[in-house]
Structure 1
Amino acid sequence: MARDATKRLMLDLRKLQEDLPETICASPVDSDIFHWQAVILGPDNTEWEGGIFSLSLTFPQDYPNKPPVVKFLTRIFHPNVYQDGSICLDILQNEWSPVFDVHGILISIQVFYNSHIYIQSLLTDPNNKSPANNEAATLYQENRTEYIRRVKNIVSESISAAELTLNL
C-alpha cells in the first residue's frame, strides 16, 4: 500500500511543479514523501491579503484512499481552524475522495481565480455551520469588523514570523 501511496505522491508533486499558482508552494520535508510543508499567501482583495501561512501535510500509508492531515503551522484566527491549526474542511473529512490531490487541497484552502470564475475556499468562505473556533465563528457572523481586525492582526504576525525565519 505504501508503494502505491508513494507513486501517487510523486505524481502529485510533479503536478504541483507544473501547475501551481505563484501564491502557493509545497514540497516534501527532508525527502520524506509522506510529510510535506506548504506556504500559501493570503488572497488579494481580502482581509487575508499579504499573509504568509505555513502548513504541514501528513499523508497516511494508504493515501489517496485516506486524506492527509493538514494543519496550519502559522497561528490563524478562522472559524474552521482549531487552536492547534487543524483544519475543518469537508474534503479533508467526510467528503474525501481519492480523486483529490495535493494541488486541489491547497487550492481549496486558499482562493483561486481562473478566467473570472470564483471557486469557494476555506480562507475567504468560512463554514459557520460546523465551526472549529467558536469565537471566530461568532465574530464572523455578529461583528464582522472585529473579525476582520483580528484577521489583519494575524496577517501582520504571519509576515513578521516569515521575516524572522528568512533572517535566521
Structure 2
Amino acid sequence: MDSSSWSKLPRELMELIFRRSMNTKDLGRCSLVCTTWRLLIGKSSLATDIWGKNFSLLRTANTGATKRIVWDYKNFQIETFKGCKAELVDSLFHWEAIMIGPKDTPYADGVFLLKIYLSPGHSFQHPKVKFLTKVYHPNIGRDGRVCVEKSWCPSLTIFQLLLVIYARFSNPEPDDPIDCEIAQMYKTQRIQYDENARDWTKKYATASQESAIDWSRFLKNNKILEPTKLVD
C-alpha cells in the first residue's frame, strides 16, 4: 500500500489507534495501520467477518502470531466440518466455538459452547480452551476446562484442535482424565455413565444458552429443534 492510499483509511480508526487527533503529516507514521489493513481488509471475505468486530484487534503489531491467527481463521471458514463452527468475539485472540453433539453418543444433538483464548506467543504456546456448557465427560473439568497441552504442537491449526476435542465426544480417554470420578464411572459403570451424560446434555446443552455470538443460523442448518437466537 503506497502513501497516497493511506488517506483512505478511516480517520476514526487512525485516531483510535494513535489515541489523538490526526493530521496529514501523521500519515507517514501509519505503517502499522497499513500493514494490518492490507492483511485483514485486503481479503474481502475475511474482511466481512473481522471488520466491525472490534478495533482492538488492530492495536497489536503485525507479528508472526497475528499473521498465523488470521491464516487459521480464514482456513477454518473453508475447512469447517459439519457440527462445529468458530467465530471471533472481540479480537483475534478471543474466539467462541459451537459444537453439536455427535449422533450415537450420549451427547447427541446437544449444543456445546466453547471459549478459545490464543496467546501473543501463538502458535508456540498452546491455546486455552474452556467449555461454557457443562459437560459430563472424563476429559472436561467441572469448570469446563479442557487440557490441550499434550495435543498441541506449533503446526496444529485451531480447526485440527477442535477436531481432536470433538472426537472425544465419541471416544473419551478415561486413562488421561481431568475428572477422575467420571473416568472411573466410564470404566466401571458404562451404562450409568451414559445415562448421566445424557441427563447433563438434556439439562445444560440447550440452544438457549448465553453467548456472545448469534448461532441461530448454525443451529437451524444443523436441524436443532430450538433455532432461536442466543442472547446475552
The TM-score bracket by the shorter chain reads: 0.7 to 0.9
Structure 1 length-normalised TM: 0.84
Partner Cα distance (1:71, 1:163) in 2: 19
Q: Mind listing any 5+ residue stretches in structure 1 that lack a counterpart?
A: 111-120
Evaluate the alpha carbon distance shift between residue 135 and residue 11 of structure 1 in structure 2; reply closer, same or farther with a 3 A threshold: same
From 101, 109, 118, the counterpart of 2:165: 109
Q: Which has the higher contact order (CA 8 A, sep 6+)?
A: 1
1:29 aligns to what?
A: 89
1:150 to 170, 190, 196: 196
Correspondent of 2:105 among 36, 40, 46: 46
Comparing 126-135 with 10-19, greater Cα deviation is found at 126-135
SS in 1 for 2:138: coil
Counting strand residues as a fraction of each chain, which structure ranks higher? Answer: 1
1:122 and 2:122 aligned:
no
Conserved in 2, the CA contact under 8 Å of 1:48 and 1:123? yes
Change in Cα spacing, 1:127 to 1:50, as seen in structure 2 (3 Å) is same
Q: CA deviation at 1:157?
A: 2.2
CA displacement at 1:22 relative to structure 2: 2.5
Kindly provide the CA deviation profile for residues 13-48 of structure 1, in whole angstroms up to 9, marking residues without a partner as x: 111111101211101102x00010000111112111
Please show how residues 1-168 of structure 1 align to structure 2 within 5 Å.
Answer: 3-30=63-90, 32-88=91-147, 92-110=148-166, 121-160=167-206, 162-163=207-208, 165=210, 166=229, 168=231
TM-score between both structures, scaled by the size of structure 2: 0.62
Runs of 4+ in 1 over 3 A off after TM superposition: none
Q: CA deviation at 1:2?
A: 6.8
Q: CA RMSD in A?
A: 1.7
Distance across 2 between alignment mates of 1:102 and 1:147: 29
Please report how far the alpha carbon of residue 158 of structure 1 lies from its aligned counterpart in structure 2 after TM superposition.
3.5
In percent, how many aligned pairs have the same letter? 28
How many matched pairs? 153
Counterpart of 2:72 in structure 1: which amino acid?
D
Q: CA deviation at 1:96?
A: 2.1
How many Å separate the matches in 1 of 2:209 and 2:97?
17
Shift of residue 104 of structure 1? Answer: 0.3
- CA radius of gyration, larger in: 2
- 1:49-77 alpha-carbon deviations (Å, 9 max, x no partner): 11110000000111001110011110011
Tell me how far apart the structure 1 counterparts of residues 189 and 62 of structure 2 sit (CA, whole Å). 47
Any stretches of 5+ residues in structure 2 without a counterpart?
1-60, 211-228
